[in-house]
Amino acid sequence: MEPEKISKLLDTLKNRFSSRLIIYFLIYWLIYNWQITVSLLWYDKSQIKASGFNSIFEFISNQLSKDGVWFKLWFIAPINNSCKPLLYAIVSTIFFPILKSGILSFDAFIIVKRNNFISKIKKDELFEENLKLKKQISSVSDSSILNGYWELIEFKESTYDSENGVKRQIYIKDNTWYDLLNDKMEEGFTIIDFYFHPTNLLLVFTKILKSDVKIKYRYRLSLNGNEQNQKLEGFENDKIKVIFNKISN
């Protein structure tokens, strides 16, 4: 036989035996006729004789002809033991792909639900983080911490004892700085460029004279104490030490 014909024959056999129906039939046949399978794989002459047969061929022939219909065509044979492997193979060929598709569809459904659930959790977490970030940004630029009556102490000398400090009272409201002179409130400065670091409790701001915006004073302060006894301590224009003691709101 020519090599090309042999190759074509092998390809044909390969295509035939790659069919699901044939594979299922062979599997069910080997399982259903397990006695033949066992006798072929683990041949034992004494066991064959103990079963009442003279040879393995006689044993196999007996198994194949038990129902007397093995050699009949499957489509005209009655549904009995001989046809069960083929029937199971047909049912498996039809049912298993449907079952596989159902399992894959269910798995895809679960994956989509899981991803949606995880996405929802992440969105909620992101929403909470955005709210937290907005609060932090708001607190950074919120100058309301300066609102209220303060005792301002300015130290002109290098020593910072109470004798060298010049004390006066001020009132701050909505970024406006008022000096309290002779029990009168005089509006003099506007507060701009306010920044507060809530972690380090550091704040900076600039006050400018309303009548002359060229006159500016830059403050770098640290927040101490509690809400009832707040204290701001730092420097004015990086030269003059100042202390703000909160009197009241």
Three-class HEC string of the chain:
CCHHHHHHHHHHHHHHHCCHHHHHHHHHHHHHCHHHHHHHHCCCHHHHHHCCCCCHHHHHHHHHCCCCCCCCCCCCCCCCCCCHHHHHHHHHHHHHHHHHHHHHHHHHHHHHHHHHHHHHHHHHHHHHHHHHHHHHHHHHHCHHHHCEEEEEEEECCCCCCCCCEEEEEEEEECCEEEEEECCEEEEEEEEEEEEEECCCCEEEEEEEECCEEEEEEEEEEEEEECCCCEEEEEEECCCEEEEEEEEEC
Q: Are 85 and 25 in contact (CB under 8 A)?
A: yes
| pLDDT tens figures, 103-122 | 888 888 898 888 888 888 88
The chain-wide mean pLDDT, for the chain, equals 78
User: Which CATH number do you get for residue 171?
Assistant: 2.40.128
Structural domains in the chain (count): 2
Query: 37-41, 126-130, 190-194, 227-231 — which is least confidently predicted?
Result: 37-41
Domain holding 204, by residue range, is 144-248
Indicate whether 148 and 94 sit together in one domain: no
Indicate whether 149 and 242 sit together in one domain: yes
**86 or 128, which is more confident:** 128
Q: Does some domain include residue 122?
A: no
Q: What's the rounded mean pLDDT across residues 56-62?
A: 73
What pLDDT, on a 0 to 100 scale, did the predictor assign at position 76?
39
Query: 23-32, 61-70, 144-153, 164-173 — which is least confidently predicted?
Result: 61-70
Q: Is the pLDDT assigned to residue 204 strictly greater than 80?
A: yes
Q: Are 185 and 178 in contact (CB under 8 A)?
A: yes
Q: Is the pLDDT assigned to residue 207 strictly greater than 90?
A: yes
Q: What's the rounded mean pLDDT across residues 35-51?
A: 73
Query: 4-13, 126-135, 209-218 — which is least confidently predicted?
Result: 4-13
Q: Does some domain include residue 201?
A: yes
Indicate whether 66 and 149 sit together in one domain: no
Query: 4-13, 22-31, 89-98 — which is least confidently predicted?
Result: 4-13
Residue 61 binned pLDDT confidence (cut-offs 50, 70, 90): confident
What pLDDT, on a 0 to 100 scale, did the predictor assign at position 234?
92
| pLDDT tens figures, 145-203 | 899 999 999 887 666 665 678 888 999 998 999 998 877 788 789 999 898 887 888 99
Q: Does some domain include residue 116?
A: no
Q: Does some domain include residue 120?
A: no
Nearest to 38 by CA among 59, 19, 20: 59
* Dist CA 70 CA 29 (whole Å): 12
Q: Is the pLDDT assigned to residue 229 strictly greater than 50?
A: yes
pTM for this model (two decimals):
0.47
Q: Does some domain include residue 230?
A: yes
Q: Is the pLDDT assigned to residue 101 strictly greater than 70?
A: yes
Residue 238 binned pLDDT confidence (cut-offs 50, 70, 90): confident
